[in-house]
Amino acid sequence: MRISHGIPVQADTPVALTIGNFDGVHLGHQAMLARLKKAADRLGLESCVMIFEPHPREFFAPDKAPTRLTSLREKLELLAAAGVERVHICRFDFDFARIPAEDFIVRILQQGLAARWVLVGDDFRFGARRAGDYEMLKAFSAECGFEVEEMPGFTVNGLRVSSTAVRDALAAGELDLVKCLLGRYYSISGRVVDGDKLGKKIGFPTANIQLKHNRPPLAGIFAVEVEMETPGNETRSSLEVPSLDTLRGVASLGVRPTVHEHGKPVLEVHLFDFDQDIYGRHLRVHFLHKLRDEEKYSDLEALTRQIGRDVDNAKKYFSSLSGAPALSEKKLVQG
């Protein structure tokens, strides 16, 4: 998958295009990507996705913007897994926000990307003051040389699939619903970084995962499966599928109120039957089942006892599953 930052003045090759934020790359997004790929194959075009960085709502109202479901890296990995051939990352700033809708069509879609086929969602808006919509694209399509199609909302069991619905389910700890909306388990990835070594001191060593954002969409104690890059992947490209080991464990995602009065969110994972130095390794933590909410305990002894119970409960959860790792299930539905 080719990744470009910004929009060229003149495109080098025509594309089939879809546009959006694709936060979470949920089943609705995956249906769009499958339709994009089908059209690209039919027309002999490259499949291309335009995304925005930062999210427009983060730019205009950072304190009110919803928490991200995926980091940029995670989003790009999911787009690559869906078969997207090109991604254009548009920097969303004041200059971009002020582009008139008509200029967006002519300067970006027609000239900069050479779009020959364009797919947008039924709630898609673009251009200054969100003046552009599907009807405007349709009105300009013949003149600018592209077909345009609209994607209706995608539903699962009567529920419209959206990034907001995924966030709400994560906040409520409804991980089975999250899996239904995403078509896979929700995950967070990052490198193992130095922590305060408290887990090791109390008998439960943890891998501390570097979080890209300070507002993760879920919190609590979870039974997790962890994919870890095996040694020897250092020379692969950033989006090439690595060789992975799958491990089980229990994860804590939260501010650790027993240890810190005003702590920042931390993701810590205790891996079962594992004792290796993995600092600097990249892990992907898949959240399978919520065990409980985060709590504040009177002292470290009480916290240690509770962690022991969490480990036991996570192991009981895994024993209730079939022997194979849950991650052996298909992770990405592609139409």
Predicted confidence (pLDDT) per residue in 268-321, tens digit: 999 999 888 888 999 999 999 999 999 888 788 888 899 999 999 999 999 998
Spatial separation of the C-alpha atoms in residues 227 and 246, rounded to whole Å = 5
Give the sheet arrangement for strand 86-91, strand by strand.
2-5, 86-91, 46-53, 15-19, 115-121, 147-151
Count of C-beta atoms within a 10 Å radius of residue 133: 17
262 and 321 Cβ atoms separated by less than 8 Å: no
Does residue 172 have a pLDDT over 80? Answer: yes
- What is the residue extent of each domain of the chain? 2-153, 186-328
**Three-state secondary-structure class, residue 45:** coil
Fold (topology level) of 186-328? Elongation Factor Tu (Ef-tu); domain 3 (2.40.30)
Structure tokens that stand for 115 in this block? 């779009």
pLDDT at 327: 75
Written as one letter, the residue type at 75 is: K
pLDDT at 213: 76
Which residues are bridge partners to 98 per DSSP? none
| Mean of per-residue pLDDT scores for the chain | 89
CATH 3.90.79.10 for the 2-153 domain, yes or no: no
Helical H runs in 238-284? none
**What is the per-residue pLDDT across 4-33, written as a single tens digit (0 to 9) for each?**
998 889 999 999 999 999 999 999 999 999
Spatial separation of the C-alpha atoms in residues 280 and 203, rounded to whole Å = 22
pTM for this entry: 0.88
Does residue 263 have a pLDDT over 80? Answer: no
Count of C-beta atoms within a 10 Å radius of residue 220: 16
Does residue 329 have a pLDDT over 60? Answer: no
pLDDT at 331: 43
Supply the DSSP symbol for 126. Answer: B
pLDDT at 6: 85
